[in-house]
Each structure stands twice: as structure tokens, then as C-alpha cells.
Amino acid sequence: MNLNPAIVIPTYWCGRRTAHSVDRGVLYDHMTPIDQEGELPRCLDSLRQVVGIGRIFLLVVSEPGVENQASEKVHDIARRFPGLDIVVIGDAELRYIHRQMAQFGFEDFTSAACLTGYGAVRNLGVLVSSIFGYDTVVFIDDDEIVLGPDFLERAVYGIAMKTPSGKLITGKTGYFFNDEGKYTAPVDTPWYDHFWNRSRGFNEYIERAVSGPRLSRAQVACGGCLVLHADLYGRVAFDPWISRGEDLDYLLSAHMYGVDIWFDNTLNLRHLAPPTLSNVSRWTQDMYRWFYEARKIEFARTQIDLMQVKPESYEPYPGTWLGHSIRRRAIFTAFLRGVGCPEHGQWFKLIGSERKQASEYARENCAKYFELQHQWPDIVRALWRCTPLVSQIRSIKTMASTSAFTGRFAAITVDDR
């Protein structure tokens, strides 16, 4: 079986200043001011070496008011790489996609696949790939670089093939090295994060997975290193209501629908992230994430058509973060940070009103994802190889391809371990 993979790269832009958020209530790890180059050129330059590379979709996420400028900036960057087949998806292209969704009767779900919010951006990348007829999506981030010309070959290894036990591999994840060449998380954490330290559990898991067989069932999905086949992405959507951690959440959602994500210990990238903020706002978003995740798992247990996700099955990580203890640990951490960090009043506020709002947000929104799930297969199916929409998107601005490769790879059978 031949696979036809597309690479999808979200890229985040803001006005002429350093910023980490947009005013739609979404906080991103980093955004690039439009008068700077950012990390995207470095990422694209690393892709020029990749054998068999096909189309690359760049999803332009921007703060309000600079959508057109950000899109033009990304187009300018893409023009420097004439050997890559690049299609830029910005605000103009998004309007075409949403108009087509409305014509098919899915207008109520346009916000689930858009250019705002990590999960919604992932969904948009999936829909764009389906519109152009790509059966495999390889997600990477714009602050990552690929390591070696065989990256795409490693990415599609085993995809769409059955293991000896009959399980179909439709999703994979890998891992990344930091700027020091390490794939583990830093273990030195301040005293006030004693109850909010994920490094130990994550490192225990990742070291075991990297030293094990090439493919193993994943219980962690590393952000920006994810491969999905159409049999999976056409069945399971990303959750637009989770504030961050969308790839790990996707793994848990796939498990609810009886699908395994696999960890490939040869699939890796280098993550060269710019400095990010570590403040009250970002930590608050993290709290919203874990409150929502725990509530979503609890709600899923009431649905007879879903597999149960049991936190204890995900030790050493992220199991302890998926249960009710997360609320108690959030209180302890907010108090300790209020003592040991600046902005004392804001940290203490998290103990009361903000924590209650996070719990309320989780309660009010956890069922919405499953409503989206009922429609998601029909949405992907309706947009699959939508030729008129392809023409509309390409008519705006399309990068001409000079690639000599088709981007097709033969999938192979793998051991089931």
C-alpha cells in the first residue's frame, strides 16, 4: 500500500512586538512579531533535505488585526523555498473552507476547525489535508527541525498496516531533543512546584519507550511530532475546548474510541523553542487543561459506546494528572506560588474564584467534544478531495512545486509488541 503524506505546520504570529497571547482568550507558548523572522525559515530549511517530501501546509495563526500581514509574511518566507511545495492557509483561505462547510450543513462546527486555539488549529490541518486528498498527516511545529533526509520515511513506517495480532496502525508519535540534545524534561524544579511537577513521571516513561522496541503502544503524545492516517483523523477529532496539551488529549480521545496511538523511538525532531513565559496566565491555562481532562474522562465513563480511560493505566505519566487529585494539587501549588513568587495576589486568587471557574468551564464544555464527534466523520467525508475548494484555495496564492518526488511511501508490516 502506498501512502501519500502531507506535512502540516502551524505557525503563530502577532503584531510588531514580543507577545505570547492573542485577545481571543487563547494563550500560546510563543508568537513571532511580524517584523521578525522567527523560527519558521529554519524549520523549512531543514525540510529541504527530506527525501520524498510532498506538500507542506502552513497554517497561519495570528492575533486580531494582523491576519493579512501575517499571511503575507508567511507567503514571503515560503517563496524563499521554491523547491518545496507549500500551500499557505491563512484567514482568506479559512473563509473559503468555512463557507464550504456551511454549504454542506456544518456551519455550527466551523469554530471546531479554525485558526484560534491549539485543538481547532489541528482540526483545520486535518481538514485541509482531506480537502487535498492526503491520506496521511505529519504534524510538526514551526520551532522544530527535522533530523535527516529519511524523516518522512520514518514518519510513515508501519502506518496503515496491521500488526500480527490484527491491529491496524493509524496513529504514531515520537519525541524531540531540546537544544542540549536531551529528550528528557528538566528535573530541577522550584520548591513551590512540588505538587505540580510532571518531569519525574514523564522521564520515567520516555526513557522506557526510547530504549524499548521500535514501536510500542504510546501513553504520551509529544507535541509537534504526530502522524495520523485518514482512517484515524477521519474518525476522531482534536478537542477544540482543551486549552493546551491537544496531542496528549487526542491520544486519550482515540483510546476512548478503541484506537491505539503508537510510539516510534526512531521518529524524532529537534525542538529549538524561543523563550516562553512562565507566569500566572500560562499556569492558569495549565490548570484549566487538567481540570478539563479529568472531567472529560469522568464524563466519558457515562457513555456506553466509549472505552473507559482509567488514570491508573497511564502510570507513570500522565496517570496521576487525570484524576480528582489534580484539584487538590492545584490549590496547594497556587498557595505555594503565592508565597514564593511575585504577583502574590493573583496566585492566591487562583485558590478561590479562578479555580471554581476552571471547574465550571470543564463541567460546561466536556460534553461538547462528543457532540462534535458525532458529526466529525461526516465533515471529513464531505470535504474529502473537494476539487472546487482546492481551486479556490490555490487561486489566492499557491507556491509552485519543483519537487521531483511524489511523497509516496510503501507502508510495511511491523511486529506487535
Q: How large is the average pLDDT for residues 140-148?
A: 96
DSSP class of 128: H
Q: Which pLDDT value is given to residue 384?
A: 97
Query: Does the structure show a pLDDT above 50 at 413?
Result: no
Q: Span 82-108, mean pLDDT?
A: 97
Least-confidence region, from 261-270, 388-397, 404-413: 404-413
Nearest alpha carbon to residue 3 among 170, 123, 144, 148: 170
Interior CA angle at 391 toward 389 and 78, to 5°?
A: 105
Q: What is the pLDDT of residue 416?
A: 54
Q: What is the mean pLDDT of residues 229-234?
A: 97
Instruction: Give the pLDDT band (50/70/90) at residue 278.
Output: low
CA 25, chain centre distance (Å): 18
Give me the domains of the chain, ranges plus CATH numbers. Answer: 2-277+376-397 (3.90.550.10)
Cβ neighbours, 10 Å, residue 376:
24
Residues 192-201 have a mean pLDDT of: 93
Percent of the chain at pLDDT > 70 equals 92
Taking a C-beta distance cutoff of 8 angstroms, is the pair 253, 369 a contact?
Answer: yes
Of the candidate ranges 232-236, 270-274, 372-376, the one whose mean pLDDT is the lowest: 270-274
Q: What percent of the chain has pLDDT over 90?
A: 77
pLDDT at residue number 22: 44
Highest mean pLDDT out of 18-22, 52-56, 271-275:
52-56
Residue 401 has pLDDT above 50, yes or no: no
Banded model confidence at residue 399, pLDDT cuts 50, 70, 90: very low
Strands (E) across 150-232 are located at 171-177, 215-217, 225-229
pLDDT tens per residue across span 5-34: 999 999 999 987 654 444 445 788 889 999
Asked if the bond preceding 311 is cis, omega within 30° of 0, the reply is no
Alpha helices in 171-319 (DSSP H): 199-211, 230-233, 246-256, 280-300
On the question of pLDDT at 414 being above 60, the answer is no
Amino acid at 301: R
* pLDDT at 275 (0 to 100): 75
- What ranges in 80-141 are assigned the alpha helix state H? 91-103, 118-131
Top pLDDT among 23 and 228 is at 228
Instruction: Using the Cα atoms of residue 340, residue 344, residue 346 and residue 351 in order, give the sign of their dihedral.
Output: positive
Please tell me the least confidently modeled range out of 7-11, 262-266, 346-350.
Answer: 346-350
**pLDDT, position 183:** 94
Say whether pTM exceeds 0.85. Answer: yes
pLDDT value at residue 405: 34
Decide: 57 and 6 in contact? Cβ < 8 Å.
yes
Burial class (CB in 10 A: 0-12, 13-18, 19+), 361: middle
Task: Using the predicted structure, report yes or no on whether residue 404 has a pLDDT greater than 80.
Answer: no
Does 154 have pLDDT greater than 90?
A: yes
**Cell numbers at 387, concatenated:** 476539487
Mean of pLDDT over the chain: 90
pLDDT single digits (tens) 307-320: 999 999 999 999 99
Q: Look at residue 182 in the predicted model and tell me its pLDDT.
A: 92
Pairwise pLDDT comparison (413 vs 268), residue with the higher score: 268
